Amino acid sequence: MFARISTWCSAAVVGIALVASSSATAQTVGADGLVKVRSAYGMQETIGRIKKDVADKGIMFFSEVDQAKLAADAGIKLHPSTLLTFGNPPLGVQFMTSNPNSGLDWPVRLLVYQNEKGEVWTAYTDFSWIAQRHGITDRVAQFKTATGVIASITSSVKAP
């Protein structure tokens, strides 16, 4: 019983520390673990800038899924929405060595979408939320690194 309480307390402390580190990057984390950043650019320019920043950082780009096209092909209207996946395997795999189920959240998924007002947004899952979700308490430095990288990538499109 003490081990469970100790593990939960450790996870809570790590989660609080990681939330504090991500809030220092001026990102708002919702209760659902989503971080949303409004873009200063249109859809294609936002996607292009993000992909360029990912490449410039030497991060592997895995895929671009045009969800609006998939919806249109199914006869469903959807505002522009594109899912980008990318990552740094030497970093991401470390989370999976702590909890294999965290592979559900890796590689990084960044959604770029346009709302009904025509605003373009990016959204991703906060890394401290991922740590808490999977009970990962032994990768604080790695989660901090991942948080800084995604904040830097989204800052390349962030509206003032």
Q: Which residue has the tokens 């019983």?
A: 1
Checking if the pLDDT of 27 tops 60, the result is no
Average pLDDT over residues 5-15: 36
pLDDT tier at 29, thresholds 50, 70, 90: confident
pLDDT at position 30: 80
Q: What is the pTM of this model?
A: 0.81
Domains of the chain, first to last: 2-155 (3.30.310.70)
Number of H helices, E strands in the chain: 6, 5
Helices 127-134 + 2-23 axis angle, to 10: 170
Tokens of 28: 């708002």
Rg from Cα positions in the chain: 17
> 54-112 pLDDT, tens per residue?
999 999 999 999 999 999 999 999 999 999 999 999 999 999 999 999 999 999 999 99
Residue 108: what pLDDT?
Answer: 96
Mean per-residue pLDDT, 40-52: 98
Beta bridge partners of 113: 81, 121
